[in-house]
Amino acid sequence: MPCLRLSPMDLFLEARWYFTEDHRSTWYQEVRSVLVKPLVIRYGIMLDMCTTASEDPTSTTSNICDATYLSRTNPQYAADNGYPDGHSGSITGLLKDLHSMSLSDPCRICIESGIDEKISNLQYNYVIPAFTTLTQQLRRFLFFLEESDGASAESIRMVESLIRKTASIAAKTSWEDVKDFYMHYTLRRLYGEGKESYQKMYREVNNPTYRGFICDMAGIQCPPEDVTLEEAKETLMRHADNTFSSHVSFGAPFPWWSESDGTGYLFAGSKQVGGSGINMSASLESLFVYLDLENRESQNNWRPFFYDSRKKEGYVDPLGSDYLWETMVSTNPVYAWFMAGETEMTARK
């Protein structure tokens, strides 16, 4: 079926019977490290810092790569500027451009200079300050709990566990750790670039003949007749973030199994299967804003979202009174990614 979509994790786990230790070593040391990681990171830097075509215009600092980007993504621009037929319409072609680009190309110069700036900014102005701040505020909350008569031992253990994780991240996050995060975050964005292909395959599979055959079957829930590009992208993003299924499966709106544990029926339900299991759907800056990191050194101006004027001192409360906490921690890319690295896989099933 053409709607089959496998994330990198799906592919790796489904093919684990084939991969030997030599295969894994070759993948990580020679393919991922030498080819995939540098190329994906440069694609992300191009979008974030060297084009005005990015979906996040606030992070754009230059338009030097606009011509390269638009020639591959805008057919009309490509035709108007003399590019050959078929040049536009492929992100794969854009990645090929980045791979072969001369070091003297102004776009490549922008990208190379932007890598240090972007990764350093993420490491020293975002990740480390964010988890340092969370650790400090969680320790304040722990002290409050320990001094309270009604605090349960389970609540105290939960907060202590969070503190161990946030403190570890704040203390040991390295340059390479941040690059790994940025690579995955960019791969996730690339996943959404398949929306046109998804829409095309959706229409091919969901043609009237097929619908007439399958929708007449008892108990079958037919998918909508068509899908917009925005809906296609949202579905791909949800698939990328959803929990991995150990069963060979198809993603909604064409699920072979409707539940991630391999139960359910064809077309029944709407849950996605496959993916990383790490929800990164919120904006990259959401944790930065939540903690008001811009003003964290100025106590007179610092107003994080968990701040409560009724308290003598504001602190993060992960147990319920901070109503934004659960939303933030479940979807922010930075928090979700780095905390996943400190959490046992059995706790993330």
Summarize pLDDT for 229-244 with one digit per residue, the tens: 998 888 778 777 776 5
Q: Is the pLDDT of residue 335 over 50?
A: yes
Peptide linkage before 84 cis (omega within 30 of 0): no
Global pTM reads: 0.81
Higher pLDDT, 211 or 270: 211
Residue 145 lies in a domain: no
In a domain, 304, yes or no: no
The pairs formed by 99-105 with CB atoms below 8 angstroms and a separation of 24 or more are 99/39, 101/68
The answer to whether residue 310 is domain-embedded is no
Which domain, by its residues, includes 96? 8-108
Question: Domain total for the chain?
Answer: 1
The verdict on residue 193 lying in a domain is no
- How far is residue 264's CA from residue 260's CA, in Å, rounded to a whole number? 9
Within a domain: 62: yes
14 is a domain residue: yes
Q: Can you give the pLDDT at residue 349?
A: 40
Q: Is residue 250 part of a domain?
A: no
CB 142 within 8 A of CB 163: yes
Measured CA distances, 90 to 21, 26, 81, 256 (Å) = 34, 28, 17, 29
Is residue 201 included in any domain, yes or no? Answer: no
Residue 313 pLDDT level (bands cut at 50, 70, 90): low
Three-state DSSP class for residue 344: coil
Per-residue pLDDT, averaged over 7-11, amounts to: 50
